[in-house]
Amino acid sequence: MDGLGYEMKHYWWVNHSQTFQQEIMGQYLWSPKTEAHGVRSHFYENMCSAVPGDLVLSFANTKITYVGVVLDFAISAPKPSEFGSAGANWSNEGWLLPVTWTRLETAVSPAGLINDLRPVLPSKYSPIHPLTGRGNQKAYLSEVDRRVVELMIPNKLLETLSMMEVEKAAEPRFAAIVEQLDDAVEASINSDTSLADSERSQVIQARRGQGAFRQNVVDIEHSCRLTGVTNRSLLIASHIKPWRSCANSRERLDGHNGLLLAPHVDLLFDRGLISFSDDGGVLLSHHLQRDDLERLGLQQAVMQSTGVLRPEQREYMRYHRSNVYLRTSVK
């Protein structure tokens, strides 16, 4: 805390393109994970660096009209259907960042303040051109200095937003959003007439780690890789590549696409706060706090290898590492 009475971890600036209205109405940001042909994008990777409580300036049509607060970590999610034909060239799987937006009483034009902004804009990855104040077409989510925000947003509003204590909010958005995504997939499976009834039923049971999928996982994995729990009553059959992201029934039922995990380990893995390397080492997201790990009693466990992954598991784990795991850019 300083004299201004607020302090957020990061300040972000998003350059909306065609999907401005959808993102504001839907209370989120959505981006592909990479540029075309898998080229890495600093602006897209920033989606995974945002944490609950961060502030976001929304820039569209030459103006900042909304300011938002991040509600949860980024979630791997398909391109929202409300985008319609907008962003038709984007990949279908991307990062969804839950944000709650507030409309400014008076929209602000950065171009009009460019002389004040210029000295505090980032020298690399700036969201706007430091001479003209016009948007950087390549930018999506950029990190900016707090002084950039202070120049454009009334101090009183900033204080109010920082008081939201989003980190302590009752309800992180993850569970609700994933349930919505899963429901949509389940509806499409239910209406897929190419599936036999028995297969459809198995695929739907697999959503909650039950039925044939669980049986298939148990044939391969015998205990929780972190805690060593072997008692089946205490273990969850967890998809490595999420059920909602699987390409077809084969992936949804494949025993190699699963791990048996104790419930707290399952949550960390689903949430992308941990992942595994091919040799079974545990990867920790920077978003996973050391004291949380300690309270969960997992601090020792994450130091050890959990046993080499089978070749068939590795493909799924590669998906988890690039699409679920919250690998944050190192500053």
296 belongs to the binding site for its own copies (CB under 8 A): yes
Contact 96/74 with Cβ under 8 angstroms?
A: yes
Cβ proximity to its own copies: between 152 and 181 the closer is 181
Q: Which residue of 32, 52, 98, 272 would you call a contact of its own copies, by CB under 8 A? A: 52
Question: Which string of x and - marks every residue 101-130 that binds its own copies (by CB under 8 A)?
Answer: ------------------------------
- Phi then psi for residue 263, to 5 deg, are -55, -35
Least separation in angstroms between residue 305's CB and its own copies is: 17
Q: Which of residues 54-73 bind its own copies (CB under 8 A)?
A: 72-73
**Long-range contact pairs involving 254-258 (C-beta distance under 8 Å, separation at least 24):** 254/216, 254/312, 254/316, 255/213, 255/215, 255/216, 255/217, 255/218, 255/219, 255/220, 256/220, 256/310, 256/312, 256/313, 256/316, 257/313, 257/316, 258/209, 258/213, 258/214, 258/216, 258/217, 258/220, 258/221
Least separation in angstroms between residue 229's CB and its own copies is: 5
Reported residue count of the chain is: 331
Least separation in angstroms between residue 21's CB and its own copies is: 26
Contact 83/31 with Cβ under 8 angstroms?
A: no
Q: Which residue of 113, 218, 220, 283 would you call a contact of its own copies, by CB under 8 A? A: 218
232 belongs to the binding site for its own copies (CB under 8 A): yes
Amino acid at 167: E
Stretch that binds its own copies, among 112-120, 142-150, 196-204, 220-228 (CB under 8 A): 220-228
Q: Which of residues 135-194 bind its own copies (CB under 8 A)?
A: 167-172, 174-176, 179
Helices 174-190 and 197-206: angle between axes, nearest 10 degrees: 180
Q: Which residue of 208, 248, 304, 305 would you call a contact of its own copies, by CB under 8 A? A: 208
Q: Which residue of 164, 195, 267, 283 would you call a contact of its own copies, by CB under 8 A? A: 267
Contact 11/145 with Cβ under 8 angstroms?
A: yes
231 belongs to the binding site for its own copies (CB under 8 A): yes
| CB environment 36-48: b (16+ within 10 A), e (fewer) | eeeeebebbbbbb
Per the structure block, which two tokens stand in for 105? 């009483």
Report which secondary-structure segment, H or E, holds 66: strand 63-70
Q: Which residue of 19, 58, 227, 306 would you call a contact of its own copies, by CB under 8 A? A: 227
269 belongs to the binding site for its own copies (CB under 8 A): no
Q: How far apart are CA 12 and CA 142, in angstroms?
A: 6
Size of the site for its own copies (CB under 8 A): 40
CB atoms within 10 A of CB 277: 15
Least separation in angstroms between residue 137's CB and its own copies is: 35
Contact 139/125 with Cβ under 8 angstroms?
A: yes
Least separation in angstroms between residue 107's CB and its own copies is: 33
Q: Residue 243 burial (CB < 10 Å; 0-12/13-18/19+)?
A: buried
Cβ proximity to its own copies: between 195 and 218 the closer is 218
Cβ proximity to its own copies: between 149 and 266 the closer is 266
49 belongs to the binding site for its own copies (CB under 8 A): no
220 belongs to the binding site for its own copies (CB under 8 A): no
C-alpha distances in Å from residue 199, one per residue of 186, 195, 196: 13, 6, 5
Stretch that binds its own copies, among 1-9, 75-83, 292-300, 315-323 (CB under 8 A): 292-300
Residues near its own copies, by CB under 8 A: 52, 72-73, 167-172, 174-176, 179, 208, 210-211, 214-215, 218, 224, 227-229, 231-234, 262-264, 266-268, 271, 289, 292, 295-298
